[in-house]
Each structure stands twice: as structure tokens, then as C-alpha cells.
């Protein structure tokens, strides 16, 4: 099975963030492999270890983002492609999907996979946009993948239950991070990753649609989220505090 996994470098949402004049500032400069993409890499590795095949990771990003590509190679991916983008150029989900569609146009594969969303924008659009641009059958929000001969059986989390969907090859699947715990690269893996092949290509090397890629949406500004104020904290005998809060929910909060 040949898997391509699309990965992204994102700021660590657990690192301190602040906003200055509408711009998002991350003092720590801590960047990581998007957790949902890490799950997609892990799942592709498990499937190819079991059934044979190859995992190639693809990342769009500036020179600095290469460290994240190396991380996926250290986890066990066989090779990587770095689609080098100018750090000043901004793309939205549509732009990323256009670049990836141009990259995949002449490639052969069984499956393309990616995280169901990225932790920075939480948009969750790129996967299904890419599938539509490549005219591939797809399944989003996978919480389980099983190889079944030539197909994948995808367990996806729907609104009310889990749907078992047979996804033929070639196809595209987006992964939740509820399906596995991505492996932490071993020292050996990290050493090996340095010798693994990485192709670097420029966006301008890709065909037509990629060079037109940009953004259809605009971020006007970032704003602080209004903080919820801490309310009242009740300590004491369970019976007393239970009675008091039950009454307040009725008389003060008016929610029962």
C-alpha cells in the first residue's frame, strides 16, 4: 500500500500566546507536528508495517518547517517531500488544497491521508477540498482504519454514531487523533531520518493551479477571547453545598 500523508507544522497551542494590535504573537516560537497529522502518520505506519507498503509525507512550509518533516521521518515514514513556501506567503485551506492537488496530479498512490483539521485554525476543510479537486472518494473524521484487501474500512465518527465505510483505492481519508497514540521517535529513528530522502520543490515548479494558490478568505485580526469570570466556589459539607447550589441554579441562574 502506498500512502501519502499530508502534514503541517503548527504553533503549539499549549505555549503562551498573546495578541498585539490584532496580530498573534507566540513568544516561545514552539512549533510542532499537527497532532491530527501525527495520528494520520501513525496509522499509515501501522497499516504498512502489517500489510507492506510505503509511507511518504508531504509538507508545505518555509525552510524552518523542515524540522517537522524530519519528525515524521523519524517516526518511520520512508521519504518526504517539502513543498517550499515563502514564509511571507499566506494560504488558507483552499490555497493549501490547490497546491497539494497540483502535487498529486501525476502521482500514483493507494491513499492520501491527513489530519481532520489543524490545531492552529481548526478549520478542517483541506482534506475534503483536496479530495474534490482530485475527484477522489473520501471519508473524514476517521477513528479507526482497517485494511481489507484492496480497500480500507474506515470507522468514522458521525453525528449520532459510528459509520463503517468501505473506501476504495485510490481514496482520501482524514484522521481524528482519537484513533491511536502516535509513536515518539526513537534515537535510532532520529538518526535514520537524517539519511532518508527528502525532495524539495518550489510551488512555482508545480502545475498551473498551484501558482494561483492564495487565500479566498482573509483573517482581519486576532482578538483575545473574553475570559469567563470565575464564579462562586462552595466548600463545606456535601449536603449543604449541594442544597445551596441547587437553589441558586433555580433562583439566580434560572436554568432549571
Restricting to residues 34-73, name those near other proteins by CB under 8 A: 36
User: Of the candidates 65, 131, 147, 213, which one interacts with other proteins according to CB under 8 A?
Assistant: 131
Q: Is residue 29 at the binding interface for other proteins, with CB under 8 A as the rule?
A: no
| Nearer residue to other proteins within complex by CB, 106 or 235 | 235
Phi first, then psi, for residue 127 (nearest 5°) are -55, -55
Residue closer to other proteins by CB (options 191, 242) is: 242
Q: What is the CA radius of gyration of the chain?
A: 22
- Going from the C-alpha of 245 to that of each of 105, 230, 231, 235, the distances in angstroms are 61, 15, 12, 11
Of 164-193, which residues contact other proteins (CB under 8 A)?
Answer: 164-168, 171, 176-178
Q: Please list the residues that pair with 155 across neighbouring strands.
A: 144, 164
Cell readout for 172 is 482520501
Write out the three cell numbers for 255: 436554568
User: Which listed residue (139, 182, 196, 210) binds other proteins by CB under 8 A?
Assistant: 139
Min CB(77)–other proteins separation in Å? 23
Q: Does 124 bind other proteins (CB under 8 A)?
A: yes
23 or 51, CB closer to other proteins?
23
Residue 197's nearest CA partner among 1, 55, 43, 50 is 55
Site for other proteins, residues 192 to 221, rule: CB under 8 A: 216-221
Judged by CB under 8 A, which of 78, 192, 198, 222 binds other proteins? 222
Task: Kindly tell me which of 19 and 202 has the beta carbon lying closer to other proteins.
Answer: 19
CA distances from 84 to 30, 60, 203, 232 (A): 20, 6, 7, 52
Amino acid at each position: 500500500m502506498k500512502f501519502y500523508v499530508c502534514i503541517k507544522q503548527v504553533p503549539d497551542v499549549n505555549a503562551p500566546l498573546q495578541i498585539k494590535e490584532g496580530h498573534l504573537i507566540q513568544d516561545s516560537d514552539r512549533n510542532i507536528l499537527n497532532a491530527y497529522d501525527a495520528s494520520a502518520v501513525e496509522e499509515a505506519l501501522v497499516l504498512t508495517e502489517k500489510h507492506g507498503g510505503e509511507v511518504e509525507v508531504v509538507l508545505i512550509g518555509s525552510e524552518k518547517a523542515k524540522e517537522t518533516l524530519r519528525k515524521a521521518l523519524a517516526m518511520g515514514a520512508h521519504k518526504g517531500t517539502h513543498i517550499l513556501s515563502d514564509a511571507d506567503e499566506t494560504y488558507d485551506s483552499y490555497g493549501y488544497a490547490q497546491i497539494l492537488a497540483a502535487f498529486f496530479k501525476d502521482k500514483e498512490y493507494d491513499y492520501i491521508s491527513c489530519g481532520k483539521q489543524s490545531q492552529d485554525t481548526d478549520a478542517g476543510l483541506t482534506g475534503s477540498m483536496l479530495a474534490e479537486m482530485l475527484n477522489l472518494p473520501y471519508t473524514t473524521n476517521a477513528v479507526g482504519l482497517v485494511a481489507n484487501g484492496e480497500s480500507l474500512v474506515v470507522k468514522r465518527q458521525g453525528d449520532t454514531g459510528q459509520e463503517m465505510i468501505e473506501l476504495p483505492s485510490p481514496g482520501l481519508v482524514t484522521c481524528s487523533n482519537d484513533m491511536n497514540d502516535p509513536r515518539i521517535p526513537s534515537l535510532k529513528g532520529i538518526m535514520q531520518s537524517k539519511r532518508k530522502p527528502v525532495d524539495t520543490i518550489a510551488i512555482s515548479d508545480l502545475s498551473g493551479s498551484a501558482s494561483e494558490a492564495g487565500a479566498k478568505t482573509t483573517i482581519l485580526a486576532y482578538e483575545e477571547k473574553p475570559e469567563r469570570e470565575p464564579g462562586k466556589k462552595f466548600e463545606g459539607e456535601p449536603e449543604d453545598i449541594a442544597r445551596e447550589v441547587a437553589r441558586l441554579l433555580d433562583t439566580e441562574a434560572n436554568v432549571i
